[in-house]
Amino acid sequence: MPRKPDPEMAYLTVHDGLYRVSMGVPKELRSQLGSRLVKSTGTKSKGQAKIARDRIVPEFKKKIEDAWKARGGKRGSLLAEALETRKLLETASDDLADFMIKGALERSDEILDEGATWVDEPTPDGVFPVRRPTPEAVKAVTEFRRVLAGDTPIAFHHQAFVDGLKIKPRSKLDEPRALSILLDWLEANDIEPFIENINKRNAIRFLDWLDADTNLSWASKAKYFGRIKFYWSWLARREYAKENPFADLNLDKPETERADDERPYTDAEVQKLLMGSPMEGDRMRDVMMIAALTGARLDAVIDLKVGGLFDGYFTFKAQKKERDVRDVPVHPDLDEIVARRIAGKAPEDDLFPEWPGPPSTSVKPRSSYFSKRYTKYTSDIGVRDEEVGRRRSKINFHSWRRWFITKLERARVREPLIAAIVGHKRPGMTLGLYSGGPEFLEAQEAIALVKLPPLDGSPVVEERSLMPRRRS
């Protein structure tokens, strides 16, 4: 018989040693809010976490309630009723329309009656009872009448918009986050979440707030603002909105945050990472080694199958703008890892079964859990390069790829060959379109030129870089 959940621990989970509050989101709202609302309590104390939970849970419930409202209400709700009535009015005959409008007015009176108080007020004709409805009822009726008159909740068309996007499922996760940011701002500024309320003035106010008053990095601000702009472009094209007030608005990129500030690992950092003792042991170290000596991206490494190792080369799945799988010769220093990991396994078996992916219903990549553990490992041993206001460290797992490319360049390997090995677009029509690619043996010899720093603790002598931007 399954154990009953502890009511005292409702909504509380533990992540990386800290309690956090987690609440599931109704399926209909996941295009707006994602699958779960999660917020860390910032404490390891159960008692303190329960206090924080009692504050966070009402916030989450309010967020879900507002999301229903922005979508058009729950099935059977007042907003949903108003939208359904408006839809029927569009094709109703004059007599039916008059009947439906009369019914809507009666429905408004019913709402105003709920919880209302009656007071006797004198008039020239005598004393008569006057209804004093609650503020909540007045607000509900105002929204009801606005929807009947033609106003549309902002999220009403959002699911159709998301469904029609030709992008990867993981990228679609940015859509509910972006919409949630806008809805939160509207709520904070007491602006009803209707498409018709987003005029040029409010669009500029939202942009100014997003730029100045949020803790997001510039890249995240630009991404989310771009998704809102694209949604409104979609609405305007279908005449669900009169115009796109975000069309000519953009976030200015600060000069202090440059994408090319991210850098390769130094040899000393590589030595420290490979000689360290991650909690995961070889299952993390083997991934680092393959990334270091192939230049492959994390997801391509984690997703390797035993059958993707034949005749001395890895076959990595296509990533980014690659059109097909990519073969990369096995570096001699990886022979032991490869032999150990393929022993006794079938071709369809995972090379890294220790790193399972998220549930099948999730759109996150299989490498997402490794990525979190790797970030913790690099933080624990101090291999980070962080600046205030930056979204992430200047060095991260992608720095293995940068280190590998740097080593190939310093070994005097031709640029077109480097591009072919790491899956970058090769320059020009001649090599990029017509060539069948470099010779496998040449790539094998080039990769063997990449040398790891000593892994016995010997001092590392860093090679001097020509690029000034790499200086500390």
Q: What is the pLDDT of residue 362?
A: 61
Burial status of residue 274 (CB atoms within 10 A of its CB: 0-12, 13-18, 19 or more): middle
Q: What are phi and psi of 363, to 5 degrees?
A: -100, 5
Among candidate residues 70, 98, 125, the one where a domain is terminated: 70
- We report the CATH number of the domain holding residue 336 as 1.10.443.10
Residue 292 and residue 340 in one domain: yes
A 10 A CB-CB count for 320 gives 9
Residue 289 and residue 362 in one domain: yes
Percent of the chain whose pLDDT exceeds 90: 32
Q: Which residue type sits at 285?
A: R
CA distance 4 to 84: 41
Q: What is the pLDDT of residue 361?
A: 57
**At residue 76, does pLDDT exceed 60?**
no
Residue 40 and residue 106 in one domain: no
What are the residues whose beta carbons fall under 8 Å from the beta carbon of 94, sequence distance 6 or more?
Answer: none
Residue 336 and residue 425 in one domain: yes
Among candidate residues 20, 42, 70, the one where a domain is terminated: 70
**At residue 449, does pLDDT exceed 80?**
yes
Maximum Cα–Cα distance for the chain, whole Å?
104
Alpha helices in 276-414 (DSSP H): 282-294, 298-302, 335-342, 368-381, 398-410
Q: Which residue type sits at 413?
A: V
Q: What is the pLDDT of residue 471?
A: 46
Q: Tokens at residue 422, please?
A: 């790491």
| Structural domain includes residue 160 | no
Give the count of domains, the chain.
4
Q: What is the pLDDT of residue 432?
A: 57
At 70, which helix (H) or strand (E)?
A: helix 46-71
Residue 420 and residue 288 in one domain: yes
Residue 172 and residue 240 in one domain: yes
What are the residues whose beta carbons fall under 8 Å from the beta carbon of 236, sequence distance 6 or more?
Answer: 242, 243, 244
CA distance 210 to 190: 17
Q: What are the tens digits of pLDDT across the range 323-349?
A: 678 889 999 999 999 999 999 999 999
Sheet with 326-329, side-by-side order of all strands: 309-310, 313-316, 326-329
Cα dist. 137→66, 112, 129, 141, 355 in Å?
Answer: 16, 5, 19, 6, 53
What is this structure's pTM?
0.58
- We report the CATH number of the domain holding residue 216 as 1.10.150.130
Q: Tokens at residue 82, please?
A: 């108003």
Which domain range does residue 18 map to?
1-70
Q: What are the tens digits of pLDDT across the range 117-137?
A: 888 888 787 778 888 888 888
Q: What is the pLDDT of residue 321?
A: 67
Of 100 and 409, more confident: 409
Q: What are the tens digits of pLDDT across the range 177-197?
A: 888 889 889 988 988 888 999
Q: What is the pLDDT of residue 100?
A: 79
| Structural domain includes residue 420 | yes
Residue 130 and residue 180 in one domain: no
| Structural domain includes residue 413 | yes
Q: What are the tens digits of pLDDT across the range 353-380?
A: 998 877 665 657 788 889 989 999 999 9
**At residue 273, does pLDDT exceed 60?**
yes
Rg (CA), the chain: 29
The length of the chain is 472
Residue 144 and residue 183 in one domain: no
**At residue 162, does pLDDT exceed 90?**
no
Residue 250 and residue 269 in one domain: no
Percent of the chain whose pLDDT exceeds 70: 88
Partners of 316 in beta bridges = 326
Residue 374 and residue 264 in one domain: yes
Of 5 and 50, more confident: 50
What are the residues whose beta carbons fall under 8 Å from the beta carbon of 57, sequence distance 6 or more?
Answer: 11, 21, 23
Q: What is the pLDDT of residue 359?
A: 66
| Structural domain includes residue 306 | yes
Question: Which of left, alpha, beta for 293 (phi over 0: left; psi -120 to 50: alpha)?
Answer: alpha
Alpha helices in 76-152 (DSSP H): 78-89, 94-113, 135-149
Kindly report each contact of residues 279-286 with a partner whose C-beta sits within 8 Å and lies 24 or more positions away, as own/partner: 279/373, 279/377, 280/354, 280/373, 280/377, 283/352, 283/354, 283/355, 284/370, 284/373, 284/374, 284/377, 286/337, 286/341, 286/352
Q: Which residue type sits at 418?
A: I
- What letter does residue 308 receive in the DSSP assignment? G
In the chain, % helix, strand, coil (3-state, to 5) comes to: 50, 10, 40
Among candidate residues 231, 254, 277, the one where a domain is terminated: 254
Q: pLDDT class for 96, splitting at 50, 70, 90? A: confident
